[in-house]
Amino acid sequence: MKTRMSGTNPLILIIEDELATRRFLRVALASQGYRLAEAVAGRAGLAQAATLRPDLIILELELRDINGLHLMEQLREWASTPIVVLSARCQEDAKVAALDAGAGQNARCPTAPSRST
């Protein structure tokens, strides 16, 4: 799981305004050894992405301060960091828009943890 260049565990930036979702991701990812940074707003996440240069970004599309698709477009102007999209919007057009904006090939709508069993 170590990154090739630094020998440290990969850093994941979570850009998500919902506390419950951040908590779930924090527990799940930290238990696997990932280093985490969190932003509760899109603009703060954009700044952290520039400063921290994470190995992966987990991005909620429906942020309060900026549209997640717009944030992805801004990120893609200078970064090629893989992005995993979280969204309650599961319509096909929302998935296509996320992929067009720069999300990874595996962008999927999340499943609530209580429903995955």
pLDDT tens for the chain, residues 1 to 117: 655 455 689 999 999 999 999 999 999 999 999 999 999 999 999 999 999 999 999 998 889 999 888 999 899 899 999 998 887 665 566 666 666 666 664 444 554 444 333
Burial (Cβ within 10 Å: 0-12, 13-18, ≥19) of residue 102: buried
Domain assignment of residue 6, yes or no: no
Q: Can you give the pLDDT at residue 112?
A: 46
Q: Can you give the pLDDT at residue 103?
A: 64
Contact at 8 Å (CB) between 84 and 77?
no
- The token pair at 3 is 């990154």
Domain assignment of residue 5, yes or no: no
Domain assignment of residue 61, yes or no: yes
Q: Can you give the pLDDT at residue 48?
A: 98
- Total domains in the chain come to 1
The pTM of this model reads 0.77
Q: Can you give the pLDDT at residue 97?
A: 64
Domain that holds residue 83: 11-115
Domain assignment of residue 49, yes or no: yes
Domain assignment of residue 4, yes or no: no
Domain assignment of residue 2, yes or no: no
Residues 6+ apart with CB under 8 A from 76: 101, 102
Q: How far apart are CA 85 and CA 30, in angstroms?
A: 19
Q: Can you give the pLDDT at residue 105?
A: 42
Domain assignment of residue 35, yes or no: yes
